[in-house]
Structure 1
């Protein structure tokens, strides 16, 4: 569990600098230069991710069960992850209305992904991992929306065609991940 916590602190901490210390981040980036800043950021993020993944894998081998989620929450989790994949696609498909409305669909995708996994898993490692990501994503989303208002950021309204492509891509990715990749990469098949 220690490696999971250290990984979370490092990974989420690195990705939270803009929320809690934006001025320091700007000064450090100027002092180090953009390339060295990105290299340091990437190195710390990767180290945090590796520690987090390794620690989570270890914690899953000796689970501390806090509760047993009812079957209905697992079904809800499937719907929430579907929404998460559509939001993830919205972050990358240009000119879609979802991004025009939310402004930060990737962060919203992380929120729905974390909530889905938090609802459908009742052991301590899952609560730590997904609870941390849910709180972090919510804080990042709120901070990014405030920055948009402060900096008067405007997003295009998006088109129906781009939105349709976004939804289709998100659904296709969800199907591929849910039916095949989740079992292959994570070792758990959402549909049994």
Structure 2
């Protein structure tokens, strides 16, 4: 559990710098240069992510159950994951209605992903992992919206093609993950009975 906690602190801590110390971040970028800052940030983020993956895997070997989720929470999680995949697609497909309206669909995708997994899972490691990401996503979204208001940021106008592409990519990504990828990568079949 220690590796999971340390990984979460490192990864989410780095990704919280703009939330809690944006001026310090700007100063570091100016002092180190954008490329060196990005390189250091990426290296430390990957280290944090690796610790999260390894620590969570280790915690799954000796789970500490906290509650017993009802079966329907898996189905709700599956529906929420469809929303999450649509938001994730919206972050990358240009000129779509979700991005035009929400402006930060990636952070919202993380928020919905974390909530879905909190509902369907029940161990201490799940609470730390998904709860940590949920709290981070809430704070990050609020901070990003505040920065947008201060800067007068206006999202690019949406097009029908961009929106339809977003929906198609999101649905295909969800289906691939739900019916194949989740089991292949994590050994867990989300819609398995029992």
Alignment pair present for 1:13 and 2:13: yes
Matches within 5 A, 1:83-162: 83-162=83-162
CA RMSD of aligned residues (A): 0.6
State the Cα distance separating 1:6 from its structure 2 match: 0.1
Q: Deviations 1:88-137 (Å, cap 9, x if unpaired)?
A: 00000101010000000000000000000000001100000000000000
Structure 1 stretches of 4+ with a deviation exceeding 6 A read none
Q: Give the structure 2 partner of residue 29 of structure 1.
A: 29
TM-score, normalisation: structure 1: 0.99
State the Cα distance separating 1:191 from its structure 2 match: 1.6
Structure 1 distance, partners of 2:51, 2:145, is 30
Structure 2 distance, partners of 1:138, 1:153, is 20
State the Cα distance separating 1:72 from its structure 2 match: 1.1
Alignment pair present for 1:56 and 2:56: yes
- Structure 2 residue ranges without an equivalent (≥5): none
SS at match of 2:69: coil
Alignment pair present for 1:71 and 2:71: yes
TM-score, normalisation: structure 2: 0.98
Structure 2 distance, partners of 1:91, 1:160, is 16
Q: Give the structure 1 partner of residue 39 of structure 2.
A: 39
State the Cα distance separating 1:156 from its structure 2 match: 2.1
State the Cα distance separating 1:160 from its structure 2 match: 1.9
Structure 2 distance, partners of 1:22, 1:172, is 36
State the Cα distance separating 1:162 from its structure 2 match: 1.2
State the Cα distance separating 1:155 from its structure 2 match: 0.8
Q: Give the structure 2 partner of residue 180 of structure 1.
A: 180
SS at match of 2:135: helix
State the Cα distance separating 1:159 from its structure 2 match: 1.4
